[in-house]
Amino acid sequence: MGFLTPFFFSVFILFYFFGGIPFAEKQINFIKDSSLVDHNLHSNAQNKLEKKEIKIISIETENMKYSPSEVILEKNQPVSLELINKDNIEHDIEVTIPTSNTISSNNHVHHKKEENMIHLHVGPKNTEKMSFTPINTGEYQFVCTIPGHKELGMVGKFIIK
């Protein structure tokens, strides 16, 4: 019996180092990965709850005026802007406003692109749309950049709360 005790002890030690430690490490990593998955699922569910609905804004142009000329928006709320031209001449709307995304809109050939500039051009008796998400509070003036239109009263403002 004296010979078997050291033999079993040696087998136990060999199993521990060559099989036990890697097996135990795999179990620890599996537990860590499972807790990360649970945490990520919780975070994703929470992010979905925090997303705000898209606010749809329609601004009409008629007789050298915007209607409405004052638009109240919420910080971090996605906005879908629709510019409806009821006149027989072209109009646009331009404002520099901090946004969290790449602004999607149609391009107007006569204007250079600037960071955070929203520019939406619409032909006579036509409608155009774009979307953006304002990220700062404040008041931001928008204007029609067609020559003479601003001077005739085509101005307004976005108020971000």
pLDDT tens track for 109-153: 444 456 788 999 999 999 999 999 999 999 999 999 999 999 999
Q: Name the percent of the chain lying above pLDDT 70.
A: 64
Distance CA 73, CA 96 (A): 15
Distance CA 96, CA 98 (A): 7
Would you place residue 50 in the very low, low, confident or very high pLDDT band (cuts 50, 70, 90)?
low
Distance CA 149, CA 115 (A): 24
Which residue, 133, 63, 160, is CA-closest to 118? 133
3-state secondary structure of 5: helix
Report the pLDDT value the prediction gives residue 127, as an integer from 0 to 100.
97
Would you place residue 55 in the very low, low, confident or very high pLDDT band (cuts 50, 70, 90)?
very high
Rg (CA), the chain: 31
Report the pLDDT value the prediction gives residue 5, as an integer from 0 to 100.
74
Helix (H) / strand (E) element for 41: namely: helix 21-50
Q: What pTM value is reported for the model?
A: 0.63
Q: Computed from CA positions of residues 129, 81, 51, 135, in that sequence, does the dihedral angle turn out positive or negative? A: positive
Would you place residue 49 in the very low, low, confident or very high pLDDT band (cuts 50, 70, 90)?
very low
